[in-house]
Structure 1
Amino acid sequence: MTEPSATASVEVGVDPATAFEIFTEEIDLWWVRGPINFFDAARATAMQIEPGVGGRILEVYSPPDDVLELGTITDWTPGALFAYRSSVDDTETRIDFEAYDGGTRVTVVQSLVPGGEKAFYFWPNVIHWLPAWVERRDHASRTPRELDRLAIALYYEDPAAAARWLHTIFGLDSWDKIPAEGTDPSWIELQVGTRAILLFKLTEKRTAQLDHSVWVYVDDLDAHFAHSQENGAKILSDIHQHGYRCYEVEDLEGHQWTFAQARPTMA
């Protein structure tokens, strides 16, 4: 049975009017361009919200006409409320902007309409992308952040626990969010620069020795090595130099990683 609704809240460090403006006018800048974050990720080029009641929420393929209409706006109150009726499922979405502790609490409620059956409850996940953009927008490019063409997939018995470990010990981050304790998301994506590391569930017992290593360039190799060592990571080799400086280490499930010193010119 489809759940009747889904909700989530985030806090951002700007006033409600600015938060509303960022949410609606800059959606293409804060929307995470991951492979599962569009209805047609192979064709998507942008996200767009047309302002005002009757405006559309669009997944843009080739403007102006090749678009997917995600919904039609039913309430447009700048600085307070944004709502729309979905065109792709049987839901209504309401997003409230409320002054809170010197900033704004943004609350999304996505609800199944009476008699509805189909619901894609994506907003409770999507809303968590907004604070990261608000924090970095003053010094960030106004070009949407895009993934590189190469990604790495790693398989773990517990991908969520692995993501937390890799974040805490190795300092890997996510454009989305690090899974909280007790959660088991079906898709986990970490980033190193603009490259993605995808963590998937291991569905069969490992029968062969791991035969790969992931390379990551870091800004301060010595500090990274010390942090890994202090937090109990299994160090396979101390820092050594062969043209490049690096060290090797195992993660919590035995995947091997090589961390190397980044050049000053690396992005």
Structure 2
Amino acid sequence: MTATAATATVEVPVDPDTAFWIFTEEIDLWWVRGPINFFDAARATAMHIEPHLDGRILEVYALPDDVLELGRITAWSPGNHFTYRSSVDDTQTHITFTPTDSGTEVTVVQSLVQDGAKAFYFWPNVISWFPAWLSRRDTAPSTPREADRLAIALYYEDPAAAARWLHTAYGLDSWSTIPAEGSSPSWIELNVGTRAILLFPRTAPNPPQNDHSTWIFVDDLDAHFAQATAAGAKILTPIHQHGYRRYETQDLEGHHWTFAQARPTQ
């Protein structure tokens, strides 16, 4: 049965008017350009919100006037809230900006409309990109961060637990957030530079686990090896030199990883 709603909340260290303006006007900067973060990632060039009642939420493509309408704005109150009715599924999304002692609480409620059947509840994954953007906004480039052309997909029984383990053992981070205990997002995106590692729930029974090895270059291989060992990673081959100085390890569900020493200029 389709869930009837999905809710997510983040807090940002700016006032509601500023938060609202950045959220809507700079969506193309804080929207992560990962390989699965658009309806047509092969053609998408931008995200855009038309800032008024009956304005459109758009996924923009390269050709003039070539867009995908994601929704239509049904309520618009700058600094307070806006609501849009989805054009791609049967949901309505209400986004509020509430003042707090330290800034603004941004809450997104994505709900199935009456008699609706289809819902893509992506906002719980997406909303964490917004505070991540604010934390680096003053020093970040004023053009969207492009994803690298290589991405890796890994399948786990528990992707959220795997993400936390990969963060602790291998130091992998995310442009958005590492999922907390008890959370179960539909997908998780970890990042190494501009490259994405996508974690998905395993659906096929007993798929092959060791038919690949993920390579990552790190600044300090010895420190990384010590971190992974302390976290309980299974070391398949300790640090050795053969072309690259590297070591091989296995994660908590059997995936193989190779960590190599990066060049000083890399």
Q: TM-score range by the shorter chain?
A: 0.7 to 0.9
Deviating more after overlay: 33-42 vs 101-110 = 33-42
Q: Deviations over 1:164-195 (max 9, x none)?
A: 21111101122344333334444333221112
Rate the CA distance shift 1:15–1:237 in 2: closer, same or farther, 3 A.
same
Residues 1:171 and 2:171 aligned together: yes
For 2:203 and 2:87, locate their aligned partners in 1 and report how far apart those are by CA, in whole Å. Answer: 36
Residues 1:52 and 2:52 aligned together: yes
For 1:70 and 1:45, locate their aligned partners in 2 and report how far apart those are by CA, in whole Å. Answer: 15
Percentage of pairs with the same residue: 74
Deviating more after overlay: 8-17 vs 237-246 = 237-246
Rate the CA distance shift 1:117–1:255 in 2: closer, same or farther, 3 A.
closer
Residues 1:78 and 2:78 aligned together: yes
1:45 alignment partner, SS class: strand
Residue aligning to 1:89: 89
Residue aligning to 1:265: 265
For 2:116 and 2:231, locate their aligned partners in 1 and report how far apart those are by CA, in whole Å. Answer: 50
Q: Is contact 2:29–2:144 with CA below 8 Å preserved after alignment?
A: yes
Correspondences of 1:1-267 after superposition (within 5 Å): 1-62=1-62, 64-200=64-200, 201=202, 203-205=204-206, 210-266=210-266
Rate the CA distance shift 1:247–1:34 in 2: closer, same or farther, 3 A.
same
Cα drift, residue 211 of structure 1:
4.9
How many pairs were matched up?
A: 265
Rate the CA distance shift 1:16–1:260 in 2: closer, same or farther, 3 A.
same
Deviating more after overlay: 169-178 vs 17-26 = 169-178
2:134 alignment partner, SS class: helix
Rate the CA distance shift 1:206–1:39 in 2: closer, same or farther, 3 A.
closer
TM-score normalised by L of structure 2: 0.88
Structure 1: where are the runs of 5+ without partners?
none
Deviating more after overlay: 53-62 vs 112-121 = 112-121
Cα drift, residue 202 of structure 1:
6.2
Structure 2: where are the runs of 5+ without partners?
none
1:10 alignment partner, SS class: strand
Cα drift, residue 205 of structure 1:
2.7
For 2:124 and 2:159, locate their aligned partners in 1 and report how far apart those are by CA, in whole Å. Answer: 20
For 1:117 and 1:78, locate their aligned partners in 2 and report how far apart those are by CA, in whole Å. Answer: 31
Query: In the alignment, residue 120 of structure 1 is paired with which amino acid?
Result: F
Cα drift, residue 72 of structure 1:
1.9
Cα drift, residue 243 of structure 1:
5.0
Q: Deviations over 1:87-135 (max 9, x none)?
A: 2233322211111131111011223334444333222322121111111
For 1:125 and 1:186, locate their aligned partners in 2 and report how far apart those are by CA, in whole Å. Answer: 8
Query: In the alignment, residue 102 of structure 1 is paired with which amino acid?
Result: S
Q: Deviations over 1:15-64 (max 9, x none)?
A: 21221111001101111223332222222111001112222111111354
For 1:210 and 1:2, locate their aligned partners in 2 and report how far apart those are by CA, in whole Å. Answer: 34
Rate the CA distance shift 1:39–1:226 in 2: closer, same or farther, 3 A.
same
For 1:183 and 1:22, locate their aligned partners in 2 and report how far apart those are by CA, in whole Å. Answer: 27
For 1:155 and 1:68, locate their aligned partners in 2 and report how far apart those are by CA, in whole Å. Answer: 30
Q: Is contact 2:124–2:185 with CA below 8 Å preserved after alignment?
A: no
For 1:161 and 1:84, locate their aligned partners in 2 and report how far apart those are by CA, in whole Å. Answer: 33
